[in-house]
Amino acid sequence: MAKKIILILLCITSILFTGCSSSKQVDKASIAETVTVGEKDGKICYTFYLLSSSDTPVFTSVFADSFEQACSKAKSEYIPNLSLSKVELFITEERIMDKTLKNDIRYISEKPYFSPLMYVTLCDENLLEKFANDKKLPEKAEEHIILLKNNNKHISLNSLSIFNNFYSDSNKVFSVSYINSDKEIKAETLKINAAK
């Protein structure tokens, strides 16, 4: 009986003192779910919306010339434990898509931690302001994108399909989703030129 008690005490002690030396605590990780790309004061602004139990959106905005630069800057200066592997939605303002979208899609396609099925959409300039105030907006936007996909089989919705259209040999016009926020969130289609 005494041997069993000593064994139990040794087991408990070893569990308490060993732990996991190289683990990363989940509460210290900053998991980005949505990234928006807009323009503020003439500069490109990438905003990383983070997974959070808060009732309001938790986000960090970074001024950068590209998504690659924004990710690097965010990790080094603002969010050291930033995880990008769970990004589901990448939204760019239509008015700046010629400046950023093609290069951002290329960067996303080169990094294995980004899902090739990440939804990529364009939006009007008013939508990004609404994102900062409504935590459920990314979910609503995804629902509308899925509805749009079900009604239109020839639309490019994810980073892989958009990459394939941008970088195929035949420069062509193709359709992507566009979120209009005039009255309420609504997904539509918008044609863009792969040659730009």
> Does 142 score more than 70 pLDDT?
yes
Q: Would you put residue 82 in left (φ > 0), alpha (ψ -120 to 50) or beta?
A: beta
Compute the distance between CA of residue 31 and CA of residue 37 in angstroms, rounded to an integer: 18
Compute the distance between CA of residue 191 and CA of residue 176 in angstroms, rounded to an integer: 6
The pTM assigned to this predicted structure is: 0.82
Confidence of residue 22 (pLDDT cuts 50, 70, 90): very low
Q: Give me the pLDDT at residue 187, please.
A: 74
Of 7-16, 49-58, 90-99, 104-113, the range with the lowest mean pLDDT is 7-16
Residue 125: which of 95, 164, 167, 168 has the closest Cα?
95
Residue 102: which of 33, 155, 176, 42 has the closest Cα?
176
Q: Give me the pLDDT at residue 125, please.
A: 86
Domain ranges of the chain: 29-193
Confidence of residue 27 (pLDDT cuts 50, 70, 90): very low
Q: Give me the pLDDT at residue 193, please.
A: 84
Indicate the CATH number for domain 29-193: 3.30.420
> Does 105 score more than 90 pLDDT?
yes
Average model confidence (pLDDT) across the chain: 85
Compute the distance between CA of residue 92 and CA of residue 109 in angstroms, rounded to an integer: 16
